[in-house]
Chain A
Amino acid sequence: MSNDVFVITEHMDGKFSDVSFEMVGKAKELASALGGQAVAVVVGGGVSSNGFASDSTIHIDDAALSNFNPEAYGKVIEALVKEKSPRVVMFGWTITGMDVAAWLSARTRAPLVAYAKDVRAEGGGIVVSSQVYGGKLMAEVAPEGDMAIVACLAGSFPVEAGQGSTAATTMTSPVDVGSLKVKFVEAIKPAGGDVDITAQAKLVSIGRGIGGKENVELAEELAKALGATVSASRPVVDAGWLPRTRQVGKSGLKVKPKLYLMLGISGAPEHLEGMKSA
């Protein structure tokens, strides 16, 4: 067992997501308190892995892993952590990290804390604050055992602390990723042709509370009066009241308007993730 803190980074189209840097910054703090190293882990090809402030970076550089594949990523990360025995493995509580973290926990019997907002070292172990019940409660828990998995909410730590220039060590995949049950077929590109809500100075954003499609018009009128554009929470889009191009949040777009007027939106953490810079 080591006292290292591994960060499973995330990238798409050759670019790392902010949460990767956020976690590396936090991992450095945690690793120094635990007496280990902060190790950034990059899975997949087609990305430059030398931009982290980690103590070291492991890059499993395999073209077959360039597109996210939950089965392949899970197996690769499982093999890596079994070999290196880190003290903590950090994932983003994101649409990719979510696919692997709980699977890895069940496979390795290492406890997992999801929805993590903060992590600190305490008494040789770690204590994690987790934002559960849609943000209504904060739980503080201490994972037992030799390895803990922590899945961090995006935006919990500063990005800058994780940015640096550590040169990565390249590794080949520790498992055969040739015969998988999950196969990547093709990327689905966002539909274009609509207004770009990320470029708007004013948004009137509507949620499930508006009651029905017939009320979208009211929001349109208000938006028109304010010189704003209408955006929405996910349920509005899932119900087909507005197109996906208008969705703000974790699985939608990140917006930064001067005015963000919410109507009938409860403020779930997944929604706030998309508008907290407004």
Chain B
Amino acid sequence: MNIVVTIKHIPSIADDLPVKGDNVDFDSVDFVLNEWDEHSIEQAVLIKEAVGGTVTVIGVDLIGELDNALHLALAKGADKVVKITADDPAADSHMQAKWLSEAIKGMGANMVFAGVQASNDLDGQIGPMIAAYLDMPYIGGVSSVEANGDSATVNKEFAGGAGAKYSVSMPFVAGVQSAPKPPRYAPVSKVRQMAQSATVEKVAPSGDASSGLAFKKMAPPVVTGHAEMIEGSSKEVAAKIVELLKSKGLA
């Protein structure tokens, strides 16, 4: 089984995001691996463990710092890692999906996994676009994939525990929402070992696509509600919360 996992390096939302002009100030943010990509890597490695095969992890290197994420993927069980050397932190989803599709084309993938979404998917997620560019079907919101021969049984989630089971012919693209198991932990020592020994294949960006969006403004949301901050020691804060709940008839 030949599985390709596409990853997205995105500005971290753990802290506030500074804005410069009408976009994020990419020079002053940390880039991190998209949360859902960890689940797609896990899903790919689980399939490899079940039926054999290779897992290739590929991403667009936006700021020259993708290697960490790729070494982590290797430490988690990926066999091969590739980076598209773009050096363009503002590359949108359409652009990245096009570059990724061009790079994936010759890989003979049976399945391509992408994270179901990323927080910077202003112009949509890369998974469905890669499917369109490669003329493969797409299914997202995926919570498990089992390979059986030249098709796969794919579970898609709706809401509240409801979902549906699909049979999908290979090759296809899946947007992974969560792997059947929590993503495995890779010890730092193993990641470090990969950083020293592994080769990251480099590919130049090829192809052209654009979101077709003209940016007018980017700003933090206007706050409409208000929050009351309760100061003091844990005990004092707890007492105030209890008092508040009591006053509202909730405790």
Inter-chain pairs besides A182-B137, A187-B164, 19 sampled, C-beta below 8 Å: A68-B164, A95-B158, A95-B159, A96-B141, A96-B158, A101-B124, A102-B128, A103-B131, A106-B133, A109-B212, A114-B123, A132-B119, A133-B11, A136-B16, A138-B221, A186-B165, A187-B163, A188-B162, A238-B39
How many residues on chain B are close to A (CB under 8 Å)? 70
Indicate with 1 or 0, residue by residue over A76-118, a CB within 8 angstroms of chain B CB atoms: 0000000000000000000110111111011101111111000
Residues of A within 8 A of B (CB): 12, 67-71, 74, 95-96, 98-103, 105-107, 109-115, 127, 130-145, 151, 180-191, 202, 226, 234, 238-240, 244-245, 247, 250-254, 258-259
How many Å lie between the Cα of A190 and that of B162 in the bound state?
5
Instruction: Mark B residues whose CB is within 8 Å of A.
Output: 11, 13, 16-17, 19, 24, 39, 93-94, 97, 116-117, 119-129, 131-133, 136-141, 153, 155-169, 172, 175, 177-178, 182, 209, 211-222, 245, 248, 250-251
Q: Are A127 and B216 in contact (CB-based, < 8 A)?
A: yes
- Knowing A70-B140, A114-B124 touch, does A191 contact B182 (C-beta < 8 A)? no
Cβ of B156: which chain A residues have Cβ within 8 Å of it? 95
Query: Which single residue of chain B is at the shortest CB-CB distance from A202?
Result: B250
The residue on B at minimum CB distance from A246 is B161
In the complex, A210→B182 CA distance in Å? 16
* Chain A neighbourhood of B119, CB < 8 A: 132-134
Return 5 A-B CB contacts under 8 Å, by A number.
A102-B125, A105-B129, A138-B218, A143-B214, A144-B214
Contacts of A202 in B (CB 8 A): 250
Would you call B127 and A102 a contact (CB within 8 A)?
yes
Q: Of all chain B residues, which has the CB nearest A117?
A: B221
The binding surface of chain B is classed by DSSP as mixed
Q: Are A114 and B16 in contact (CB under 8 A)?
A: no
Residues of B within 8 A of A142 (CB): 213-214, 216
* B122 x A139 contact (CB < 8 A): yes
Interfacial chain A residues near B209, Cβ < 8 Å: 106
Contacts of A258 in B (CB 8 A): 250
Cβ B168 vs Cβ A181 within 8 A? yes
With beta carbons under 8 angstroms apart, the residue of A113, A130, A188, A254 that contacts B164 is A188
Contact of B161 among A102, A131, A145, A244 (CB under 8 A): A244
CB distance from B235 to the nearest CB of A (A): 15
Q: Which of B125, B141, B222, B251 contacts A95 (CB 8 A)?
A: B141
Q: Are A133 and B140 in contact (CB under 8 A)?
A: no
B213-A111 in contact (CB<8A): yes
Q: Is there contact, CB below 8 Å, between A98 and B164?
A: no
A184 is contacted by which of B13, B126, B164, B251 (Cβ under 8 Å)?
Answer: B164
Residues from chain B with a CB closer than 8 A to the CB of A95 are: 140-141, 156-159, 177
Q: Is the CB of A112 within 8 A of B216?
A: no
Q: Give the 8 A-B residue pairs with the shortest CB-CB distance, closest first.
A: A102-B124, A190-B161, A111-B212, A106-B132, A103-B128, A102-B128, A106-B129, A188-B163
CB pair B128 A141 closer than 8 Å: no
CB < 8 Å neighbour of B128 from A68, A106, A182: A106
In the complex formed, the residue of B with least CB distance to A74 is B138
